[in-house]
Structures are given as C-alpha cells and as structure tokens.
Amino acid sequence: MGKGLGDKLVLAISSRALFDLSESHQIYESEGVEAYRRYQIEHEDEVLMPGDAFPLVEKLLGLNTRLSEQRVEVILVSRNSADTGLRAFNSIQHYGLGISRAAFVGGRSPDPYLAAFGCHLFLSTHADDVRNALKAGFGAATLLSGGARRANSNELRIAFDGDAVLFSDDSERVYQSGGLNAFQDHERESARQALPGGPFKPFLAALHALQQEFPEADCPIRTALVTARSAPAHERVIRTLREWSIRLDESFFLGGLDKSAVLEAFAADVFFDDQTGHCEKARQVVATGHVPHGVSNELLP
C-alpha cells in the first residue's frame, strides 16, 4: 500500500455505488459510450439520487465532524471521464459531502490508482474492478444493488465475515477439501497459531484506530464479526484478533446458522462476506458487499 493520505482511513468509491446511475447506465448498455456521454452532459445540472453506499459514506465523513479533524478521506474513483463525471461532482456538492478528490479513468479499471491514494477499501458495483482490486491486495467489495438500508442513526455499524474477508481463506480451503470434521480438527490443532490476514484486515485496523480516538462509552463506530464458525474453531479467531491488537465490539459464532437474523438485530450499515449465498440472504435485511475472494469464489462458474 502506498503512503497516500498518511494516517487517514481512505475509502475509494465508484460513482455508481455512491449515486443511483441506473438510468444512465441503461443508456450506456443499450446505446454505447457516446450516447451515455451526451446524456450525462445534458443532465449534469440534475442532482443524482443517493446510491447503495451513500448512507455509509455520509456516516464515515460524519466522523470528521465528530473529531473536528479530517481522519476519513473518501475519493471518487470512476470509469467515467472528467467530462461525464461532472454530474457526480455537482451532486456531491449538492449533498454537502466532504469529497474533493477524484480519479476519472476513462473506461478503464481504476485498480492501478488505489495504491497512489493509499486506499483501505474500494467499493464498486463493477465486479471485475473489485476482483482486480482484490488481486492487487486491497480490501474491495461489490455493492449489491437494492440492498436494505438501516434506519437513520448517527452510529456507524459495520459487520464482517471471517474467513476470506478478515482472515485468509487457508482454513476455508481445509473445510472445502476435507469437510467439517477436518476443519474443526485443523483449527483445534492450530488454535494458538494466528490466522493470516485477509483482504479486509487493513480496513478493520484503520477503523479500529479511529475507534480509539473516541471515549469507549461514546464511540460512534461499532464493529461485529458474524461467522459460520463455532466451537472449537472460535479460539483461533479470538487469539488472532488479540495478537493483532484489534477489538471487535461484538462477535457471533453461528455454526452454520443463517446470518440474516443476527445482522438485522445488529442493524449493520453494511456487511461484507465472500460467499454469494450468504450475501443474497443478508441483502434482504442490510446493505451488503460481496467480496469475490478465496476458494469459494474460485469454484464459481
């Protein structure tokens, strides 16, 4: 990861994740780039409606106000050209979002520029761009359109799956190849050996560092681990987080139970998981980002 913006938490986000661009995207799909460009220019003074990641971005930027310091940076990273991206910037100004930096890459994948900004997380609706970002070593997720949104609240709540998200997929590979008993035996034997970090470890670490800047009793950020693991596979996770010096506010070891009820009760602003089945269920109750990383996604057609 590049030095980028120093000690800030840096989120890169695509224009389609931040705003609802479904109408103009349909024009792009059906009529091509030039028709899309004309449409955006003709409508550049019309404010875009918020997209799936808008509430999350709003809350993240709100932390700067709480801290009276710029500790969170959100950068618009878009396949648009600057010409067609003007509408997005006009909408940013309309909503008063503290976003001043952008990269318009003219139809190409933006992943080469994530290191230049020192990004901790990239959110997009373009699955190939997300995969490229993950391959480059960045935390990234595909926002599933139409995901449920949490009711208005000043508290930011983020939930994570464990294997292939916060942690590497090493243990998941044991489960996929050997089954549950082999997985549990492996995790029991490796209980005191820390799990390697997954693609979202840097983002969680940056989020945890932000939490430390608030009084514990009045922290507006709350994090949760929601994993299909259960005893005896819980111990390795707990010891790993302890070794990383990272605190998760809540942890749920569900032993294969549906995660949706817990996510709804936790009232997550966003949940990140690597498995499409879990994501499809979760999106019914909370905004959800699919992390196309690890062995479960290698098996997808």
Are 13 and 111 found together in one domain?
Answer: yes
Show which of 89, 108, 142 is a domain's final residue: 142
Mean pLDDT of 218-236: 93
Answer yes or no: 161 catalytic: yes
Q: Which of 52, 129, 161, 269 is flagged as catalytic?
A: 161
**Which residue range(s) make up the domain with 241?**
156-297
Angstrom distance (rounded) from CA 98 to CA 94: 11
Q: What is the pLDDT of residues 170-183, one digit of tens each?
A: 988 988 888 888 98
Residue 80: what residue type? N
Residue 2 confidence (pLDDT): 45
Q: Looking at the 3D structure of the chain, how many domains does it have?
A: 2
Give me the chain's average pLDDT, please. 90
Contact yes or no for 139/203 (Cβ under 8 A) = yes
End-to-end CA distance of the chain: 31
CA dist., res. 289 & res. 271, Å (int):
6
Q: CATH number, domain at 247? A: 3.40.50.1000
Whether residues 73 and 97 share a domain: the answer is yes
Query: What is the pLDDT averaged over residues 69-83?
Result: 89
Using only the alpha carbons of the chain, give its radius of gyration: 19
Cut 0.95: pTM above it: no
In a shared domain, residues 135 and 175? no
Tokens describing residue 172: 């998941």
Q: Which two tokens stand for residue 240?
A: 């790993």
CA 61 from chain centre, in angstroms, equals 15
Helices (H), 123-169: 127-135
